[in-house]
Every structure is written in structure tokens, then in C-alpha cells.
Amino acid sequence: MPDNKMPFDEMFGHGEHPRQPYQTYSDWFQSENSRSLRKKAKEAERAFRRTGITFNVYGREEANERLIPFDIVPHILSNREWQKLSEGIEQRVLALNAFLHDIYHRQEILKAGRIPREMISQNAAFEPKMIGVDPPGGIYTHIVGTDIVRTGEDEFYVLEDNARTPSGVSYMLENRETMFEMFPDLFIRHKVCPVSTYPKRLRRSLAACAPSACTDKPVVAVLTPGIHNSAYFEHSFLADEMGAELVEGHDLRVVNGRVAMRTTQGYMPVDVLYRRVDDAYLDPLNFNPDSVLGVPGIMDIYRAGGITIANAPGTGIADDKAIYSYMPDIVEFYTGEKAKLPNVPTWRCSDPDSLAYVLDNLEDLVVKEVHGSGGYGMLVGPAASRKEVAAFRAKLQAKPDGYIAQPTLALSTVPIFTNQGLAPRHVDLRPFVLVSPNGVDITPGGLTRVALKKGSLVVNSSQGGGTKDTWVLES
């Protein structure tokens, strides 16, 4: 694990001269007028506002709909860097899919003692109703968002696996479109891999996972909880871009052994449902009986092979943060290879020795809830007050198995554009992965999230972060 006091800057490294991937961009930036760039930045903000690219923040008293800040300086990766990342991501995603099939069938990894049995059986994300179920095409994780952080020239780590309902792909697409509109000359100077084909590839990948009950061109629909969900913009955006129907639970019902959606011509069977509803709310007959977001009986149709649900129910255990700590073992067990992309070292607070270490070093560690997301429920020790550390200490002691801890990494930085010029800010990257019986498809780029506050390590939009366009150079 790198020990550098100064973070690695992806544009300048540890020096004053731009690194090779940024050389052409740096030359262009130096030739530009700062007033003109500030004007472009404001134009970009207005474009996002016109498009309606907002997200909802829960638990706040003020107006909860916000614009995600967009920074006009791209995050640039060389083709060589991307190849390294994509090889590691593909290996990891295939291992996750094999792991899910195994724990819901023979559980060989548990029999081999590579993961303690109670880590699965007592895990809230494990879904017993999926035991013995064979999803169409053998695919559990149809869409995955793998969060990557960087600490050096060739030092990349997987921070998190998002295998339930990963979000953010709409921002990846809109960021690119906005950059292309604002700075078309930059795309003449740079050969940037395209991302605009993602919706078409998503539909093709989902269609390839159609169930055996499908006898014609697969009908694909997107299931949304509704307009009050924080990612509703993305749900409607993707449905529109794919040419798929956007449906809510009340639009669907079981008809003649199939899940069908209401249309002007009556009810039409759905073959593939890209669901953006959590497991607990998917089927009130099988999960939370109070749910009005799901479809009564959909799990019975799913188990009978009448519909594909993407991602499959029960995949949440693959992005559980306690299971994350076993990923090096999971990758090796199912692929026979060492992980090409390492994990961040992780202490499982359920282990008494690890808990003791974490409690003794809280001020220096990042502590996360095992089922947390969005930057909520975490402690960044170096940035926390004594009062916050003390409160978190009490939480850990009360429920240690609900948390993991990691060292505070010197995350890489990428410059953002400010009124004073370029300023370094910490970033992470979420590439988006499609999995089908036809293989693994990784879009060259992803969602770059940036911490807009100086020194902050929290990049989540819900915590004040912004986004950047991510460029993968073709050569």
C-alpha cells in the first residue's frame, strides 16, 4: 500500500509537467482564455439544468432535488491503463457471477472453508428463495458498476462492487454529450473511445438473457419505483434510449403464467425486466408484504423460467462490504488466478482482533456500514471531530458485525476548473459492465466522481461531489 504524503495527480504525476495522456489536453488548456472557459462551464451547468439531470437527497429538510455539479476538465486514461483495468474488471465480474451461482447451489466455496458459512447464512443480503434457482442464461449480475481508486502510476484498487442496481450510467452519457457540445475541437485533437452506444449495447445484452418462455423478439422493460426515487431520471433516460417501456409495479400483473405489462392493446408479456427496485419490494407475496412497488407473484414466474429479472434477486450479497473483504479468495477460487486488481486492505469488525485494532486506530481509518451506500453511514477518521469519532466508537461496540474498516488511502487527484485556475481534487471511477451469455462488455470510460471540496475524500454526489467526463484514448 503506497505511503506517499502527496497524492498522485493523474494529470501531473508528482511533478510539474503533464503526463503523456494529458499532454495534448494541457497544450490546449494553456492556449485557452480563462474567461471563455468560465463561460463554457456556466453553459454546461445550464445544459444540465435544462435536461433535468437531478438527483434526490433523502433526509434533508431543504428542497431535496439537486443538480449534480459537472466539471469541464476530463478524466483521461491511456489505452494501456484502460486495458489493465478492463482485464481486472472482467476477471472480477466473472468470479462474482460464479460465486453467486455457487452459494445458491452447491456452496463449494463454503465447504472448502474459503469463506465462513455464517458470513452467508447470517447475511441479510443472502436470499434463501434463490437457492436452487437457475437464472436464464446462468447470469446473475447483468449490469455491474465497479468502483476503482488509484494511488499511483500503476496502482489501482477496487473499492467496491455494485452488483444490485448500480446507478450513474446516465451521467456518464450526458457528461460526454455535454463535453462534445461545449468543446468539439477537443475531440478533433483526441481520439476518445465512444460511450454513446451503451444503451444499444445494454438492450442487446439484456435481450441475450431472455428466458426460455420467450419465442419472439424479446420484450424489455425497465421497472422503476417511481418519480420520487433518487435515480428516476436515469430510469426514464435509459428506457427511452433503449426503446424499452418504463413501468411501475401497478403497470404489471401475472397473466397466463407470464408477467405482462399494460398497453393500449391490452396486457403484453415482458421477457426481460431491468428492475431498479430493491429485492425487498420486488414481490409482496414473497418479500415485504407491504410493498406497493413490485409485482405480486413475479418471483414464482421467475423461478419457473417465465421472465428474466436483471439483476437477479439475491445479488446484493456480492456487493456486501463484508463479503468484499473475501474477494481475493473468491477470484482465486473460481478463476484459478490471483486477482489482477487488488482490494483495499480491509478489517472485518466482526473479528475480535480486527475490532480491537480498529477501535485503537479510529482516527486514521475509514469505517463503513457493510450494507451502506451513497457515502452515508461512514466515518472518515482523519476528517472527523472527536465527537464524531466517539459516536462511531459506540456504534462499533454495539454492532461490530455491521462494519468494516479500511486505511485512509492517498487517492489520486485530477484537476478541476475553478475561478483561480486548475486545482487538484480526489476522484474515483465507476466503469459499467454488461454480462450476458455472449460475454462481458465493458464500456470504455465510466462515471468519474470528484470530491469538489479541497482535501475531501468523499466523492458521492449525495455528499457534495460532482462528476467529470471520462476519456479512454484509443491509442
* Distance of alpha carbon 113 from alpha carbon 105, whole angstroms: 16
C-alpha cell at 140: 446473475
* Per-residue model confidence (pLDDT) at position 65: 58
The whole-model pTM stands at: 0.92
Q: What are phi and psi of 225, to 5 degrees?
A: -70, -15
- Which amino acid is residue 205, in one-letter code? S
Asked if 125 and 320 count as a contact pair (C-beta separation under 8 A), the reply is: yes
Q: Which amino acid is at 94?
A: L
The SS3 call for residue 259 is: strand
- pLDDT value at position 58? 41
Q: How far is CA 174 from CA 70, 197, 409, 431, in A?
A: 10, 12, 30, 15
Domain 345-408 of CATH type 1.10.10.10: no
What's the pLDDT score for residue 60? 44
Q: In the chain, what are the domain boundaries?
A: 345-408
DSSP per residue, 318-344: GG-HHHHTTHHHHHHHHHSS--SSPBP
Give yes or no for a cis peptide into 162 (omega within 30° of 0). no
Rounded Cα–Cα distance for residues 156 and 328 (Å): 14
Q: What pLDDT sits at residue 346?
A: 93
Question: Position of cell 450513474?
Answer: 168
Tally the C-alpha atoms within 13 A of residue 462's C-alpha that lie toward its C-beta. Answer: 15
What are phi and psi for residue 340, nearest 5 degrees?
-75, -25
What nine digits make up the cell of 462?
Answer: 449525495
Q: Is the dihedral of CA 56, 58, 64, 69 positive or negative?
A: negative
Q: What angle do CA 250, 254, 257 make, to 5 degrees?
A: 165
Query: Coil, strand or helix: which one is 291?
Result: coil
In the chain, the amino acid numbered 447 is L
DSSP annotation of 450: E
User: What does the pLDDT look like over 337-386, one tens digit per residue?
Assistant: 999 999 999 999 999 999 999 999 999 999 998 876 655 678 988 888 99
What is the pLDDT at residue 465? Answer: 85
According to the model, what pLDDT value does residue 63 have? 43
Amino acid 66: pLDDT: 65
* H or E stretch covering 237: helix 232-242
All residue ranges of the chain with pLDDT < 70 are 1-5, 52-66, 372-376, 461-463
Amino acid 115: pLDDT: 95
